[in-house]
Structure 1
């Protein structure tokens, strides 16, 4: 099933503004709203970092239809798995069928400043994630959970307020192992656009299928979500310039890996030209070009497109997109 979503840019806007955008997204026909869970934004100047779960509770109260989720939350450091289970149990009870828990292994930028911890390697972070998912699901489905893991423990713990149907867990990944894990244990898979086509065609989707096959599942059994970085505006020059706020996305993984301070990340990002910052985005004034840029992702099996717009005037984007682009996407892939 085709879904079209809106990415609420928590790093860029105040919580109140984000609520207005989320409500407008529902009014203009979007199917979902996903919010990133950052303790600190990618840049210090003009940055924001509202609490994603508090914000989702408010958005749920102000809307009636739209699916809400985190893209993505790290349930292993700032958020203890037991508290994640409790929080999403409450959200799922309040807004049954409208809540998604999107998870990932995390960024040091968000966890180290809050906890003062040493940021572990990828292997440990993935191990923590797998254990956290086991604990969260146990707490959603069992009473008096005593859990003895390598990283987390509970003693006779019960989540008393939880939905009849557990909240779906979407696993975010950009590598083979975590993508295979998403296929084996997730109700959804999340990744981002703008990287080499071979990553999606040769690594991500084959590993997702392999993980699904391991559990006797098919592609239709999982939501395949991709965040599309789209700077769409009738003014093409404006669309290009809008990408500058998100310059950090154009930095290489090596440049970002050890950065734990928004001021340092901002300095690196601001050294880039608008040509460089635009490189990770679809920058266009042509609705038909958006459809053509999506076509390779749809052909690979992605069915849930969540659009992240970089500009300061999100209401302008939502209205232009919903009238000029959304109908073409639904006609092409619906």
Structure 2
């Protein structure tokens, strides 16, 4: 049986200060969104106007201000800034405070969040190995007492997470390549990826990989929560919808352009060199609700059941109202 269809709001902590972002999370619940997922950054994509509140503290505040939404990280890295045991402890506490409402979304990380703290950024093979080991350790800490763990990267000696929720916190794993996606299918309760890339990446690489990973442990993708962050810019004024994407110009940079850039000042300089037409390429930009729905439906047809909308503009209250009134009802009618 397929998972229920849900629509969420991406709370971009790289763009908004903690209190302002918290108010947007509350508004998302009021406007009918099913979930709120927050990014976890030490440093934002831009220096001027950038923010980076601590995601786990912020989630506790969001849970206290809301009643029904699912909330979690999209995504957190459990391998450098945080020891996996600290991640296990923090999300166990959130799960105790807000039973059935918390998701731990994890990925292998961005160098800009780790290198400034003195981390020597390893190659992809090591990052993936650390990530797999971290997932194993977190699950063990949640299921066993006095965990003595001897891994290649992490060690614990009779460690215990004393306060664990009765209802386990789901772990959703993020990826954009085939190996990590197969791992998400094997080891995750859900999978997270992002929109706006070459359609063939989803149809020819990622969807087959998640299915293959799930099948290796006797599951299918219908057993997983399939989440995709969908980048949308919706406004009744098309020029305003286009201009709104400028803050997120870093998303329009190629992997080669961003490689080795850990300084938000330099990332901002590179992003500001792009035109609005270039920064808008990763987003669904339209003034027409039906055009938004048609573009979003492609991801539903692929098998995603949990769509989290990332809007780039400064007026998030306006976005939440417009999307809640004009887009979500159309999507639910599908």
Matched, 1:33 2:18: no
Task: Identify the residue that residue 272 of structure 1 maps to in structure 2.
Answer: 274
Task: Identify the residue that residue 317 of structure 1 maps to in structure 2.
Answer: 319
- Kindly state the Cα deviation for residue 222 of structure 1 after the two structures are TM-superposed: 0.3
- Kindly state the Cα deviation for residue 299 of structure 1 after the two structures are TM-superposed: 1.2
Matched, 1:98 2:105: no
Aligned residue runs from structure 1 range 183-194, under 5 A: 183-194=185-196
* Structure 1 stretches lacking a partner, 5+ long: none
- Kindly state the Cα deviation for residue 166 of structure 1 after the two structures are TM-superposed: 2.0
Q: Secondary structure at the match of 1:53?
A: helix
Task: Identify the residue that residue 146 of structure 2 maps to in structure 1.
Answer: 144
Q: Secondary structure at the match of 2:149?
A: strand
Task: Identify the residue that residue 156 of structure 1 maps to in structure 2.
Answer: 158
- Equivalent pair of 2:80/2:119 in contact (CA under 8 Å): no
- Kindly state the Cα deviation for residue 235 of structure 1 after the two structures are TM-superposed: 1.1
Task: Identify the residue that residue 290 of structure 1 maps to in structure 2.
Answer: 292
- Equivalent pair of 2:184/2:213 in contact (CA under 8 Å): yes
> Aligned equivalents of 2:25 and 2:296: distance in 1?
23
Under a length normalisation based on structure 1, what TM-score does the superposition of the two structures give?
0.98
- Kindly state the Cα deviation for residue 140 of structure 1 after the two structures are TM-superposed: 0.5
Instruction: Give a deviation string over 1:139-194, Cα, whole Å, max 9, x none.
Output: 10110000000000000000001111321010000000000001001011000000
> Aligned equivalents of 1:26 and 1:215: distance in 2?
35
> Aligned equivalents of 1:36 and 1:92: distance in 2?
18
Instruction: Give a deviation string over 1:220-241, Cα, whole Å, max 9, x none.
Output: 2101100000000111110000
Task: Identify the residue that residue 42 of structure 1 maps to in structure 2.
Answer: 45
> Aligned equivalents of 2:205 and 2:111: distance in 1?
25
Please list every run of at least 4 consecutive aligned residues from structure 1 whose deviation after the TM superposition is greater than 3 angstroms.
none
- Kindly state the Cα deviation for residue 254 of structure 1 after the two structures are TM-superposed: 1.0
> Aligned equivalents of 1:96 and 1:200: distance in 2?
33
Matched, 1:77 2:54: no
Q: Which of 225, 240, 243 is matched with 2:242 structurally? A: 240
Q: Secondary structure at the match of 2:228?
A: strand
* Structure 2 stretches lacking a partner, 5+ long: none
Under a length normalisation based on structure 2, what TM-score does the superposition of the two structures give?
0.98
Aligned residue runs from structure 1 range 12-23, under 5 A: 12-23=15-26
> Aligned equivalents of 2:88 and 2:120: distance in 1?
25
